[in-house]
């Protein structure tokens, strides 16, 4: 008896076995009623049989085994399975466990029947792998979309109360000159509010770029010499104990998003001051023909070589010492890279004991479409 015929004639027994076995694979405390485990198993088995019985050449089988099949008969079934499980709040582990249980139930019962259809077993494995792939892709895409929507909505909804806090604290700093204690409290509130806004902005930028999206830019003619001077002055004001040197050479004008580049430079200078040895931090800008090159350098404990490879990844952190500021959420360098990439530029890091740490940015003056 072929495996497809066996599945057709023994679907009830397979589903019973599937339910029993699936429960042994569920995470501890997972609460799934019988209907939740069985509701899609019958439809899935029927789709598997249809796929197994469909004519298939050796070339088609080879393409399918590599995930390049044309028919993809189980695509719809896999997507529906994922949608149903998301509605029931299944975890990804639970969804994977179901497919393991279904595969094991079919093959175990077929083996016990004493039948042998190796070609059918191969077709069955190909079919269930296709369904699994589609289900996982749908599950991941849907949960990622929900998560990004949540973060985006949360970030936007937090802006209104944060704006009220910022406005109130600003008013207090202006009216509490006669009361130094109140002025100090208001200043701390204002600094905290600005820090919260930076975190919210980072989260919103992250939702845009985490799947490879490109940031929207407002390009205009920018003189980086002037912009760098402004950022250095802001960094000095924010870190009164730091010493920041700035040097510039050549033509530093181009078509860039001024605010976004200021965000990048502010982030890099802040990191250099935070993780440096409290010595001099330098920012240099130089003319490189069709590009402008920016470097931010600090001395201090080097970034480990293995950390350098991941330092621009989201949620990656590097602290040179135990006293580093950990108020950030590890998105600053990821967002800096995203902004530079949106400008069609490149950012990289070099770091060792002898030379310190240098962040280098190479920015084309104009988009490639206009450069010619």
**Same-domain status, 186 and 159:** yes
Tokens (6 digits) for 236 = 């000095």
Examine the domain organization and report whether 229 and 209 are in the same domain.
no
Confidence of residue 320 (pLDDT cuts 50, 70, 90): very low
Given 152, 187, 213, the domain boundary residue is 213
260, 366: one domain:
yes
Mean pLDDT, residues 328-357 = 86
Q: Higher pLDDT residue, 242 or 282?
A: 282
Residue 154 vs residues 125, 160, 194, 263, 284: alpha-carbon distances, Å = 43, 11, 17, 22, 38
User: Residues 197, 346: one domain?
Assistant: no
Q: Are residues 189 and 274 in the same domain?
A: no
Identify whether residues 209 and 225 lie together within a single domain. Answer: no
Residue 230 and residue 366 in one domain:
yes
Residue 339: how many CA atoms within 13 Å on its side-chain side? Answer: 24
- Own/partner contacts of 140-148, CB < 8 Å, gap of 24 or more, are 140/92, 142/82, 142/83, 142/86, 143/86, 143/92, 144/211, 148/207, 148/210, 148/211
Residue range 292-314: mean pLDDT, rounded: 88
Counting residues of the chain whose pLDDT is more than 90, the rounded percentage is 21
Domain that holds residue 34: 1-213
Same domain, 107 and 162: yes
Same domain, 14 and 89: yes
Give yes or no for residue 70 having a pLDDT over 50: no
State residue 222's pLDDT score: 96
Nearest to 260 by CA among 304, 216, 292: 216
Confidence (pLDDT) at 71: 46
Residues 162 and 229 placed together within one structural domain of the fold = no
Output the domain CATH number for residue 319. 3.30.565.10
pLDDT: is 210 or 308 the higher one? 308
Q: What is the tally of structural domains in the chain?
A: 2
Choosing from 187, 213, 239, the residue where a domain stops is 213
CATH number at residue 66: 1.10.490.70
Which tens digit of pLDDT belongs to each residue from 175-210?
645 567 677 777 777 766 766 777 677 766 766 665
| End residue of a domain, out of 179, 213, 247 | 213
Mean pLDDT value of segment 333-362: 92
Helices 180-209 and 118-175, axial angle in degrees (round to 10): 150
Which residues are CB-neighbours of 44 under 8 A, at least 6 positions away? 77, 81, 102, 131
Same-domain status, 82 and 49:
yes
Residue range 139-165: mean pLDDT, rounded: 71
Q: Residue 108: pLDDT band by 50, 70, 90 thresholds?
A: confident
Over residues 15-65, the pLDDT tens digits come to: 888 777 766 755 554 555 666 666 677 777 887 888 788 777 777 666 666
- Regarding whether 259 and 189 lie in a shared domain, the answer is no
CA angle at 47 for the pair 45 and 50, rounded to the nearest 5°: 110
């Amino acid at each position: 008896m072929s495996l497809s015929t066996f599945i057709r004639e023994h679907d009830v027994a397979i589903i019973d076995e599937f339910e029993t076995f699936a429960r042994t694979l569920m995470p501890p405390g997972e609460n799934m009623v019988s209907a939740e485990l069985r509701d899609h198993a019958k439809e899935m088995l029927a789709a598997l049989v249809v796929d197994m019985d469909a004519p298939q050449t050796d070339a088609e089988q080879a393409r399918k085994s590599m995930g390049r099949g044309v028919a993809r008969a189980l695509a719809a079934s896999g997507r529906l399975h994922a949608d149903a499980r998301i509605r029931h709040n299944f975890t990804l582990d639970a969804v994977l466990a179901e497919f393991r249980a279904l595969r094991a139930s079919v093959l175990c019962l077929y083996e016990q029947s004493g039948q042998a259809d190796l070609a059918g077993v191969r077709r069955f494995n190909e079919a269930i792998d296709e369904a699994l792939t589609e289900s996982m892709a749908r599950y991941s895409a849907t949960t990622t979309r929900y998560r990004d929507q949540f973060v985006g909505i949360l970030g936007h909804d937090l802006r209104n109360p944060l704006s009220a806090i910022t406005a109130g604290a600003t008013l207090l700093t202006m009216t509490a000159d006669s009361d130094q204690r109140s002025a100090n409290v208001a200043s701390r509130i204002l600094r905290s509010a600005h820090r919260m806004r930076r975190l919210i902005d980072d989260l919103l930028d992250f939702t845009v770029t985490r799947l490879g999206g490109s940031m929207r830019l407002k390009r205009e003619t920018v003189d980086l010499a002037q912009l760098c001077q402004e950022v250095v002055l802001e960094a000095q004001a924010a870190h009164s104990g730091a010493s920041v040197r700035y040097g510039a050479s050549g033509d530093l004008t181009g078509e860039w998003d001024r605010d976004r580049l200021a965000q990048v430079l502010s982030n890099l200078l802040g990191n250099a001051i935070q993780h440096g040895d409290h010595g001099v931090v330098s920012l240099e800008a130089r003319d490189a023909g069709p590009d402008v090159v920016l470097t931010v350098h600090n001395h201090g404990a080097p970034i480990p070589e293995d950390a350098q490879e991941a330092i621009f990844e989201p949620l990656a952190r590097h602290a040179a010492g135990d006293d580093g500021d950990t108020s950030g959420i590890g998105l600053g360098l990821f967002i800096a890279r995203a902004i530079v990439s949106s400008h069609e530029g490149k950012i990289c890091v070099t770091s060792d004991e002898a030379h310190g740490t240098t962040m280098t940015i190479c920015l084309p003056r104009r988009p490639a479409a206009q450069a010619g």
